[in-house]
Amino acid sequence: MTEKPEYVDLQIERRGQQFALVRTEGDIRAELLLGEADILSLARIFPSYAHALKSLRSRPEAGIEAWTAIPLRECEFNSDLHQHLVLFRLRDVSEAEFEFSVEPSGARYLAGKLNEWADRVEKGQKPELQ
């Protein structure tokens, strides 16, 4: 029988003008106090570290690329105050939010690529279930 993996719980809690990164593993709780600048810096660098960790598990020569595919729960669209950019926010089922902005031409490009990939997936050969 396979053992159930133990997960570490990470949360960010507001503490007055600061934040606490709280890590709970079993009965052990650790905290690290952070300022707003720390949180913003971490938010910028985490995607790079996540990509680096995934690349360690990728083997392009074997056609294997590690992806972290988390289902999308919702998306929101807006524009900037000057009507120059299309803004969009993606929220996954874990409540993580990712915000992006693109020029209108970039939004059209993304829309086209999404349609193209939706067609590929719908029309693609499906593996047989055994």
Is the pLDDT at 78 greater than 50, yes or no?
Answer: yes
Residues 111 and 80 in one domain: yes
Percent of the chain past pLDDT 90, that is, above it, reads 52
Of the candidates 59, 13, 18, the one whose C-alpha atom is nearest the C-alpha of residue 38 is 18
> Could you tell me the residue range of the domain that residue 34 belongs to?
9-61
Domain annotation covers residue 49: yes
Q: How high is the pLDDT of residue 9?
A: 82
pLDDT in tens, 11-67: 899 999 999 999 998 889 999 999 999 999 988 888 778 777 777 777 777 666 667
- pLDDT at position 5: 47
Structural domains in the chain (count):
2
Q: Which amino acid is at 103?
A: E
Cα atoms in the 13 Å half-sphere on the side-chain side of 53: 7
Does residue 47 sit in the same domain as residue 89? Answer: no
Give which of 72, 69, 90, 88 is closest to 80, Cα–Cα.
88
Whole-model pTM: value is: 0.58
Both 17 and 53 in one domain: the answer is yes
Average pLDDT over residues 112-123: 95
DSSP 28-76: EEEEEEE-HHHHHHHHHHHHHHHHHHHHHT-BGGGTB-------EEEEE
Domain annotation covers residue 76: yes
